[in-house]
């Protein structure tokens, strides 16, 4: 009867969780707060007022345990009780909240609705009244400076706004910062407010006391051992005697940190120096280890198990130059686990071991601390699942100038000698290059040598999981005979993200990305008539969508133009329960074979990519179990088109989903589950070549043999591909289907 005792114990525990009981801390004078609300607050949201007070209501700890909260399970609830002292103080806090923000006529009343269960509902009833509005805002004492650039432009408050004291303080700080960036290190700004309570109007005046125009004085360097003082001085974007600027001081500190050899770097000003027109500086640095070794390993659904090792020298040959030697492998265990946790890594040659070796060199100073030069020599074997396998030896050269905080502008040249494998289907379906000799030329070692320019801007508030700000990226490439490339093309990618902090813990993130590829001729293709006039793009430069960082309702690269391949035997011999083949050999040879009657499991799906891309996401990020576990609800959309004429917004696919993120020192570990819509599309079908048996050129043993052992008068040509004329129609069943769910596992936010 052991199971009976266990069932009884479980029932007892459940009864304790569900049945309301007296809660520790709950008394007649400290009832539990079951509801906290606001009425009449038209100008400010409830969440703003809740953040201004201490009193809280009993709430569910997380949406994960929401069902237990509905039945009153104590472990799932974060209970709050009425504290009379805090409640009285909160009344004043709400009143002060409105007073500071210009609502001097606001009146606050509180309602306590007690229940028989020694619980209470708290309501703040607010009559906001009319705010005092600013009718004049002036900046005095800087008339000469305002002629060059007005100090009152784009202030956080202006004429017509309520008299918000916090925003007035922000405006004063903004004016002070602008003056100090113009050389006036000792600027002081006084604020005067004249209020007409009868008319509810206010006049605001900022009196600016500039002090003398200051210049940088002596710059002392302390704490350096291996890094020479000369290297540190040249990273400082000003000299002794230059006009003072507070922003330049911050820029100097950022430049020193970016050298990566300093654990700590501080630039301190002596604003008490006499005379006050000179501002001496002390630069204090603390050097870290000049050499570092790092290793790591991980797993994700697209690359199976991965590993990486790095050795870096952060003061290579002096001058704070950096040299990084890096090696990495991916697809470890992909073949053994291709039917389970590594299904996204690919099969066959696509699941073979990927590797890369590189040596990266960085020169941090090129005529200016804002300029840097990077050079990277690499060799690698990489695969794009079900599209191609690439082996390459290349060099990346990049000259970067930081034109502002978080705003680099780069000019680059990226020559590489690359060879392709398993790209026959790609070239045959995408560019109608099905001749074996022509495909061999395209897959052989060719030069891909683009030059380009990249611009990015990062105004987010955090490196990982931003809660505010935006990013912008634009990348333009050009390749032609003048750059030493066998492939000619132009390629443009533009991407922007935006982050909105809705509350302290809830963030709305959005992303929009677009791309366009203009392919040119391939001069290395000398086989066939008018071969050089074909517009052929390297498959590496085409656009693909779908995956953990793209449209998550699809597997890696599976959104957009596709092609399917099928074994020749599945077309000309009976398969499964079918008594007859779907096509006669002659139908395959003349390309009229219709493969529609076969099931989808007989086909091998391959992405073809496209020349036009649009994709985007909207993601709501919220806490689940603080501080480590967070959740996300998202909607992704996107599509890839092969040509501009094919573009249609009706083709855009929308995939909603849910996800979890677990915070780690290297970024959030992310699991996303998304659902793709029903599809109805037609895709091209590729199979092996087939021709009639010719006794003069073929041996009898070359003939195809059917399952019954009978030789057919047809010869298979594996080196040649056939693109069938009837396309395969793909149609999902109506209604919900578990087959359309897509799971992704990775590290880092989706964007």
DSSP state of 242: S
pLDDT of residue 14 exceeding 50, the answer is: no
Contact 383, 331 (CB under 8 A): yes
Long-range contacts of 171-175 (CB under 8 A, 24+ apart): 171/206, 172/206, 175/139, 175/151, 175/206, 175/208
Predicted pLDDT at 689: 86
User: According to DSSP H, which parts of 554-624 are helical?
Assistant: 568-572, 585-589
What burial class does residue 293 get, using C-beta atoms within 10 Å of its C-beta: 0-12 exposed, 13-18 middle, 19+ buried?
exposed
**Whole-model pTM over 0.85:** no
In this predicted model, which residue has the larger pLDDT, 666 or 650?
650
Query: How far is C-alpha 86 from the geometric centre of its chain's CA atoms?
Result: 43
DSSP state of 581: -
Closest Cα partner for 330 from 360, 300, 310, 293?
A: 300
pLDDT of residue 733 exceeding 60, the answer is: yes
Predicted pLDDT at 574: 87
pLDDT of residue 20 exceeding 70, the answer is: no
Least confident segment among 4-13, 267-276, 366-375, 474-483: 4-13
pLDDT of residue 145 exceeding 70, the answer is: no
Predicted pLDDT at 534: 67
Taking the C-alpha atoms of residue 606 and residue 386, their distance in angstroms, rounded to an integer, is 5
Taking the C-alpha atoms of residue 264 and residue 555, their distance in angstroms, rounded to an integer, is 44
Contact 566, 523 (CB under 8 A): no
pLDDT of residue 393 exceeding 70, the answer is: yes
The domain 133-209: what is its CATH number?
3.10.20.310
Long-range contacts of 575-583 (CB under 8 A, 24+ apart): 575/602
- Confidence class for position 631, pLDDT limits 50, 70, 90: very high
**Third-level CATH fold of 215-287:** Ubiquitin-like (UB roll) (3.10.20)
In this predicted model, which residue has the larger pLDDT, 304 or 25?
304
The domain 2-127: what is its CATH number?
3.10.20.310
Domain with CATH 3.10.20.310 in the chain: 2-127, 133-209, 215-287
Sorted by sequence, the CB contacts under 8 Å of residue 157 that are 6+ apart come out as 134, 137, 164, 167, 168, 170, 171
Mean pLDDT calculated for residue range 510-533? 74
What class has domain 365-542? mainly beta
Taking the C-alpha atoms of residue 161 and residue 158, their distance in angstroms, rounded to an integer, is 6
pLDDT of residue 21 exceeding 80, the answer is: no
Mean pLDDT calculated for residue range 593-620? 89
């Amino acid at each position: 009867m052991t199971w009976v005792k266990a069932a009884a114990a479980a029932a007892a525990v459940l009864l304790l969780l569900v049945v309301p009981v007296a809660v520790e801390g709950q008394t007649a004078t400290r009832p539990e707060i079951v509801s906290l609300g606001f009425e009449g607050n038209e100008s400010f949201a409830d969440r703003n007022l809740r953040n201004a007070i201490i009193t809280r209501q009993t709430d569910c700890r997380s949406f994960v345990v929401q069902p237990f909260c509905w039945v009153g399970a104590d472990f799932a609830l974060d209970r709050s009780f009425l504290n009379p002292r805090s409640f009285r103080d909160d009344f004043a806090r709400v009143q002060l909240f409105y007073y500071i923000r210009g609502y001097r006529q606001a009146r606050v009343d509180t309602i306590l609705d007690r229940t028989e269960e020694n619980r209470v509902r708290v309501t703040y009833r607010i009559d906001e009244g009319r705010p005092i509005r600013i009718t004049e805002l002036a900046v005095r004492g800087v008339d000469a400076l305002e002629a060059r650039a007005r100090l009152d432009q784009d202030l956080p408050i202006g004429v017509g706004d309520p008299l918000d004291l916090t925003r007035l303080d922000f405006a004063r700080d903004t004016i002070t910062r602008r003056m100090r960036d113009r050389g006036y290190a000792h600027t002081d700004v006084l604020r005067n407010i004249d209020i007409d309570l009868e008319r509810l109007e206010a006049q605001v005046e900022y009196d600016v006391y500039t002090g003398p125009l200051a210049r940088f004085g002596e710059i002392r360097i302390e704490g350096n051992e291996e890094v020479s003082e000369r290297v540190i001085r040249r990273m400082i974007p000003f000299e002794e005697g230059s006009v003072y600027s507070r922003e330049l001081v911050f820029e100097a500190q950022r430049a020193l940190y970016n050298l990566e050899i300093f654990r700590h770097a501080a630039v301190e000003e002596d604003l008490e120096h006499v005379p006050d027109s000179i501002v001496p500086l002390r630069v204090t640095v603390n050097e870290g280890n000049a050499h570092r070794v790092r290793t790591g390993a991980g797993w994700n659904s697209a690359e199976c198990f991965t590993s990486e090792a790095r050795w870096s020298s952060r003061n290579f040959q002096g001058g704070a130059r950096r040299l990084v030697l890096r090696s990495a492998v991916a697809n470890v265990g992909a073949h053994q686990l291709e039917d389970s946790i590594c299904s996204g890594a690919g099969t066959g040659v696509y699941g073979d071991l990927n590797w890369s070796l590189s040596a990266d060199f960085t020169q941090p100073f090129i005529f200016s601390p804002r300029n840097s030069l990077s050079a990277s020599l690499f060799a690698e074997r990489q695969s794009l699942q079900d599209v191609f396998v690439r082996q390459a030896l290349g060099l990346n050269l990049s000259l970067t100038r930081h034109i502002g905080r978080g705003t680099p502008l780069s000019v680059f040249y990226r020559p590489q000698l690359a060879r392709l494998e398993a790209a026959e289907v790609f070239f045959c379906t995408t560019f109608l290059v099905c001749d074996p000799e022509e495909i061999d030329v395209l897959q052989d070692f060719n030069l891909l040598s683009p030059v380009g320019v990249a611009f990015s801007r990062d105004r987010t508030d955090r490196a990982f999981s931003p809660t505010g700000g935006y990013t912008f990226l634009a990348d333009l490439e050009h390749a032609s005979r003048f750059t030493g490339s066998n492939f000619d093309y132009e390629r443009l990618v533009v991407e922007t993200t935006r982050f909105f902090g809705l509350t302290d813990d809830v963030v709305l993130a959005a992303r929009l990305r677009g791309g366009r590829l203009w392919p040119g001729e391939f001069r290395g293709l000398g086989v066939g008539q008018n071969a050089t006039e074909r517009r052929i793009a390297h498959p590496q430069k085409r656009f693909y969508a779908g995956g953990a960082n793209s449209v998550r309702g699809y597997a890696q690269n599976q959104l957009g133009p596709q092609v399917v391949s099928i074994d020749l035997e599945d077309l000309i011999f009976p398969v499964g329960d079918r008594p007859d083949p779907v096509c006669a050999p002659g139908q395959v040879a003349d390309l009229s074979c219709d493969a529609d009657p076969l099931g989808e499991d007989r086909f091998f799906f391959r992405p073809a990519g496209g020349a036009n891309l649009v994709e985007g996401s909207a993601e709501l990020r919220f806490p689940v179990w603080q501080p480590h576990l967070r959740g996300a609800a998202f909607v992704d959309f996107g599509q890839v088109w092969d040509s501009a004429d094919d573009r249609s917004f009706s083709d855009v696919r929308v995939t909603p989903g849910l996800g979890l993120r677990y915070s780690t020192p290297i970024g959030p570990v992310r699991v996303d589950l998304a659902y793709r819509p029903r599809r109805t599309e037609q895709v091209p079908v590729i199979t092996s070549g087939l021709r009639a048996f010719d006794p003069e050129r073929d041996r009898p043993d070359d003939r195809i043999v059917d399952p019954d052992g009978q030789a057919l008068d047809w010869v298979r040509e594996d080196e040649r591909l056939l693109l069938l004329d009837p396309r395969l129609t793909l149609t999902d069943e109506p209604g919900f289907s578990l087959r359309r769910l897509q799971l992704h596992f990775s590290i880092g936010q989706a964007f």
